[in-house]
Chain A
Amino acid sequence: MNKIANLWLGGLTGVLMTAAIYMTFVYVPTEADQGIVQRIFYFHVPCAWVAFGAFGLVAIAGIFYLWLGQPVWDDLGYAAAEIGMVFCTLVLVTGSIWAKPIWSTWWTWDSRLTTTLILWLLYGGYLMLRAMADDTPQVARFAAVIGIVAAADVPVVIVSVRLWRTIHPAVLVTRQGGHGLEDPRMVATLLVALAAFTALFLWLLMLRFATLRMRARLGAIARGLNLAQAAAGDL
């Protein structure tokens, strides 16, 4: 792995995340209606953004793997799916913590909550497949197919669940056309938090991807050693 890229990305993540935490807890004004709990929004939305981006990357990596057949795409998809799952879990948890005081319930079958839960279940299945199956090119193709099909399913899930029901607040784009964040400091905090979580995602992705590449190389070396041993035994 590239050490310099690791240092840069890690340092950038550290700086941005410190700024995001400062802005969320100190800089940004408290929202008038919801009070202090609204501040979780600046972590909730970036987590959702990272989770959706990661799951999109799983599908793109899957398409490239089926097309080109290079193992790097498989490792990229695997790494993105794992990280996406972590952030998708965080979206559900932070959402629940917010919903308890505001909606006075941990969970409702609102359209965005339901869609996120379905996403969580879809990629949980994807990771179960990878955990249960061996590490072969055949299983890599299976995982790529599941990643593509899951992403293709998402728009239909969104439409059907939206028709089903919805009460989630539309913060970013309200029906009047403007956005729901009145104070420019709120917009600034959200943007910094988005940048911080994006950097964190890229950093984690690079680390996990490098680990998977190392594992693949280790596997190749071990196979080579076994072959050499077998050849030596024949002599």
Chain B
Amino acid sequence: MRKDLRLELRGGESLVALVALSLLILVVMVFALDPAGGVRDAATAAGALWVALILAGVIGSSRVLLAERDNGCIRALIASPLDRGALYWAKLTAAFIFMAIAEAAAIVLMVLFFNLDFDWRLMRMAPVIALGALGFAALATLLAAITGRVRAGDMLLPLLAIPLFVPALIAGVKASGAALAGAPFAAIAQWLKILVAFDVLFVSAGSLLFEYVIGEE
């Protein structure tokens, strides 16, 4: 895991690319939705943010596992005495940190583009975004191990990941919109429960099933 982080942070290429991608998606969303100047629409901003999260995640997350495939290190890692479960947790942590940084950048850009305020309401979004990023990282870590080793896997990853992510997407958009609009915590709580359930489900499914997809053939 340290290696992944070091590689990403030192090279910095994919992190910069991911942030740039989030920026571009938000710009596209502004043009597509055209939030008239001065109108502070929390729901639209939250929607745009989650579109950026999904697209950046789909494109960025496969890199975390593909780095090993390209230079053949995955074989060495599997052969090493390192537990495969540990390999999963390392990959998941790296993907999560990776996505969380990109999301933090996307939130700042969202506030600027959608003419919102930097205030306490953004803090209320932190758990929503963190849970969303964790859920997507868990999903993508498992799926990228599959699609990374199939022909045309780049096409396949979004086809598999986006339908699976739907419950977290619904909960995330609703919770973010409510948090940005300054709704009471009770309005967010029911969506947070769904996000927690989704994360628990996919982190445990990932840790249980990862050994079946990582095996050599």
Contact = CB atoms under 8 A, between A and B. Distances in A.
B156 A137 contact: no
B22 to A, nearest CB: 24
A187 B146 CA distance: 46
Nearest to A149: B205
Interface in A76-108: none
Contacts of B213: 141-142, 145
Contacts of B170: 160-161, 163-164
A136 B216 CA distance: 12
B194 A125 contact: no
Contacts of A138: 149, 215, 217
The contact size tier of chain B is 20 to 34
Contacts of A144: 212
A128 interface: yes
Contacts of A66: 209, 212
Given A132-B152, A132-B156, A149-B142, A160 B194 contact: yes
A125 B167 CA distance: 17
A165 B162 CA distance: 20
A156 B198 contact: yes
A149 B209 contact: yes
Interface stretch (A14-22, A116-124, A177-185): A116-124
Contacts, number: 89
Contacts of B146: 129, 142, 145-146
Nearest to A154: B167
Nearest to A153: B164
Interface string B138-154: 00001000100111100
A125 B198 CA distance: 19
A121 B212 contact: no
Secondary structure at chain B's binding surface: helix, strand, loop or mixed? helix
Nearest to A144: B212
Interface string B156-171: 1001101110111011
Contacts of A161: 166-167, 170
A128 B201 CA distance: 24
A51 B145 CA distance: 28
B167 A129 contact: no
A40 interface: no
Interface in B108-162: 142, 146, 149-152, 155-156, 159-160, 162
B194 A146 contact: no
B152 A156 contact: no
Contacts of B217: 136-138
Interface string B177-198: 0000000000000110010011
Contacts of A125: 156, 159-160, 163
B29 to A, nearest CB: 20
B91 interface: no
B198 A148 contact: no
B65 to A, nearest CB: 14
A132 B212 contact: no
Contact of A152 (B163, B171, B201): B201
Interface of B: 142, 146, 149-152, 155-156, 159-160, 162-164, 166-168, 170-171, 174, 190-191, 194, 197-198, 201-202, 205, 209, 212-213, 215, 217
Given A129-B150, A156-B167, A160-B166, 4 more contacts: A145-B146, A149-B205, A153-B201, A156-B168
In the complex, the 7 A-B pairs of residues with the closest C-beta atoms, listed nearest first: A160-B167, A138-B217, A121-B163, A156-B167, A125-B160, A125-B159, A142-B146
6 contacts: A118-B163, A145-B142, A153-B164, A156-B167, A156-B197, A156-B201
